[in-house]
Amino acid sequence: MRVLVANRGEIAVRVVRACHAAGFAAVAVHSDADADATWVRMADDSRHIGKSPAPKSYLDGSALLSAAQDSGCDLVHPGYGFLSESAEFARSVEQAGLGFVGPPASAIALMGDKASARRAAREADVPVVPGSGPVADVAEAREAAAEIGYPLLVKASSGGGGRGIRPVRDDDELAEVLPAAQAEARNAFGDGTTYLEKALERTRHVEVQVLADSAGRAIHLFERDCSVQRRRQKLLEEAPAPDLPERTREIVCAASVRLAEHVGYRGAGTVEFLVDPAGDPHFIEMNTRVQVEHPITEMITGVDLVAEQLRVATGQPLSLAQQDVALRGAAVELRINAEDPDNAFAPSPGDVTTFDLPGGPGVRVDTGLVRGARISPFYDSLIAKLVCWGADRAQAFARARQALDEFTVEGLASTVALQRQLTANAQLLRGPVHTRWLEQELG
């Protein structure tokens, strides 16, 4: 088997490793800026796919498909971001007779549209946030709002990752915001469809990892808590979710398996919920790809999720059944981004002059960088993921603090120092926080 690794950065390195572990050959792709990158050197072969700006390389589906065909690949692994959730790209790979390492294009399309995802969730008896169907105009929106109750969010059907969401507190605000939101959605996502959703306060972000085989049978690998966010960008994630009521865990895990099976899912996916202070979960969306924070699930279950993705893509069964999935200890992931927390998280491209990575028991670093590398301005700011496992949550965090003390990045601003503060934060260590906590903490 030969796999095109249609991505860059740490996830490209991760997928090349998984290919080699499975005995598969890996073909890397790169833009102008990434010609000397780690994943290119690790792979068995590589293809140049275009200029540095992502639309001219990593977002160019036809360039990626040509690279796959030209290099004799059987499979295309899309990683996360870029074209990983493009039903059109998945379909083009399928139509070229290659295997897409992910769900069928139909499942990507179904889950990629928020309104159809909510509908599918309700059909699968998955609890959803109270909300409306698509609303055409202000009159229709007000009618729906009266039923759901304020505060509300106006959401773009095609939005995602925190984009295309506007809060409203009353009828007047709704009348003001709705037309603007529809216009913005049309411009940003090429689809002006918007709907209303109840704004839940002080919620936790809890997501469930699922795996489904090619026959559509799904299992779950427990949950992650990703409540530590800034502007809806996750900074620190934990597995399992600390102090999650057992009743809630059972509901979200079972509901996620039902949803995956209902939509004919295949491979690795994540079902995201908001959990309110009463412990009631509400479905928000499904990510139809491997998740940035997948390593913490690997640490607590011992399951190699990318290896399972490759197994399913080659028609093999999953290597394990639900009863084989056991939860052991606790893990935390700290995202190290090239951003300056002291300057409103401004992006900080530049040359990495020092890059000393930590080690020791339970410590894992996923990165696509080496010392001397240039962090280019063309892609996202994630430069490394520090993942620490402990026999319990306290040990995982203690190891994280120790590892962060060993972690030295010089040449550009990074989130290392912020992560040192976070992993020592008394409130966070005491227990669960809600999704607005970090923004309040940062002031």
The catalytic residue positions are 289
Residues 6+ apart with CB under 8 A from 344: none
User: What's the closest the beta carbon of residue 90 comes to other proteins, in angstroms?
Assistant: 22
Q: Which two tokens stand for residue 254?
A: 């079972």
User: What's the closest the beta carbon of residue 400 comes to other proteins, in angstroms?
Assistant: 25
Residue 136 or 346: the one with the smaller Cβ distance to other proteins is 346
Residues 6+ apart with CB under 8 A from 243: 431, 432
User: What's the closest the beta carbon of residue 320 comes to other proteins, in angstroms?
Assistant: 36
Question: CA triplet 352, 357, 358: central angle to 5 degrees?
Answer: 155
Residue 52 or 322: the one with the smaller Cβ distance to other proteins is 52
Binding site for other proteins (CB under 8 A): 51-53, 55-56, 187-188, 190, 338-339, 346-347, 349, 376-381
Residue 160 CA to residue 123 CA, distance in Å, equals: 21
CA-based nearest residue to 376, from 84, 78, 82, 51: 51
Residue 75 or 338: the one with the smaller Cβ distance to other proteins is 338
Residue 51 or 371: the one with the smaller Cβ distance to other proteins is 51
DSSP state of 288: -
Q: Which two tokens stand for residue 35?
A: 């010609």
DSSP state of 316: P
Residue 421 DSSP SS3: helix
Residue 294 DSSP SS3: helix
Cβ neighbour number for residue 429 with a 10 Å cutoff: 14
Residue 363 or 413: the one with the smaller Cβ distance to other proteins is 413
Residue 327 DSSP SS3: coil
CA–CA distance from 57 to each of 14, 82, 117 (Å)?
20, 10, 29
User: What's the closest the beta carbon of residue 85 comes to other proteins, in angstroms?
Assistant: 16
User: What's the closest the beta carbon of residue 165 comes to other proteins, in angstroms?
Assistant: 17
User: What's the closest the beta carbon of residue 53 comes to other proteins, in angstroms?
Assistant: 4
Cβ neighbour number for residue 417 with a 10 Å cutoff: 14
Residue 73 or 418: the one with the smaller Cβ distance to other proteins is 418
Longest distance between any two alpha carbons in the chain, whole Å: 61
Residue 124 CA to residue 85 CA, distance in Å, equals: 22
